[in-house]
Amino acid sequence: MSTRFLIPLSAIVLFTIPGLGFAGGVSERVQAEDLVKQGNQYYQDRQYENAVESYQKAIALGFEGTSVYYNLGDAYYREGKIGYSILYYEKALRLSPNDPDIIHNLRIANSKTVDKIDALPKFFLFQWWESLLALFSTDGWARISYAFYLLLLVSIGLYFYAKRSNLQRYSFFIGFVSTVFLVITGALWVINLNRDLNTKEAIVVQPTAVVKLSPDSTSNDAFIIHEGLKVREMNNVGHWIEIELQDGKVGWIQDSEIRTI
């Protein structure tokens, strides 16, 4: 493993707590913070199983965010659980799409997977569009849109209350530019939000998973996949989920063999 992989791990304790979001009450927050600190200490002591348990308990109490998912991915990687490691790196990446440490560690974890599936080729305009959407997370696009909205309000205020014509012209220009970018970033936010709500991706967490042609254990086998592979969830019937691979293959798998990102 490269030295660079170890750099962010040694810095985990320094930035984990401030970077997390929380949905519970004060007492749960204090308890979860203690669990995260405990998980960090377990990790430093190379007690990775205990670190995983502490991080998972903190998440169960309502903690979520880039740091805790990233730390959990690191701990799972050290345990040799590549599927779960990739799962939590992917969760972290969704919150911080351009984080170089997450991208680097995820690339290392993906290099350990068995399945190397080539995605269906996309038209270059679609590739460009996907890259644009991935520049920021859904929350990131929302914050940017809100910033342009505030800038628009300020420019409107300056336009009506400014006494000098030059200042009015500047405020009008700023307002026009803010409106344009507000519409663009707002549209990107809505598109990303819609994708988050309607598109589900998952990671295979079992060492080997047999994909069936239909949601029935007696059905014929379609193909075999292995832990760490990312798939798209399509439909579900009982404990069976229909998945699609990046190369277009489709089949049914039991829900216990994958985890939604």
| pLDDT, tens digit, 9 for 90 and up, residues 13-26 | 333 333 445 555 67
Asked if the model's pLDDT at residue 1 lies above 60, the reply is: no
Q: Where are the domains of the chain?
A: 3-110, 124-198, 200-260
| pLDDT, tens digit, 9 for 90 and up, residues 64-117 | 889 899 999 999 999 999 999 999 999 999 988 889 999 999 999 999 999 988
How high is the pLDDT of residue 23? Answer: 55
Query: What pLDDT band is residue 49 in, cutting at 50, 70 and 90?
Result: very high
Contact indicator for 87, 118 with CB cutoff of 8 Å: no
Contact indicator for 62, 23 with CB cutoff of 8 Å: yes
Beta-bridge partners for 202 = 231, 260
How high is the pLDDT of residue 30? Answer: 87
Record the pTM: 0.71
Q: Tell me which residue has tokens 């399945």.
A: 115
Q: What is the CATH number of domain 3-110?
A: 1.25.40.10
The CATH superfamily assigned to 200-260 is SH3 Domains (2.30.30.40)
Distance CA 234, CA 165 (A): 58
| pLDDT, tens digit, 9 for 90 and up, residues 168-208 | 889 999 999 999 999 999 999 999 888 878 789 999 999 99
CA dihedral 34, 38, 41, 46 (to 10 degrees): -160
Give the tokens for residue 200.
């589900």
**Segment (H or E) for 52:** helix 48-60
Distance CA 111, CA 153 (A): 48
- Return the minimum-mean-pLDDT range out of 124-133, 176-185, 206-215: 124-133
- Return the minimum-mean-pLDDT range out of 10-14, 34-38, 137-141, 142-146: 10-14
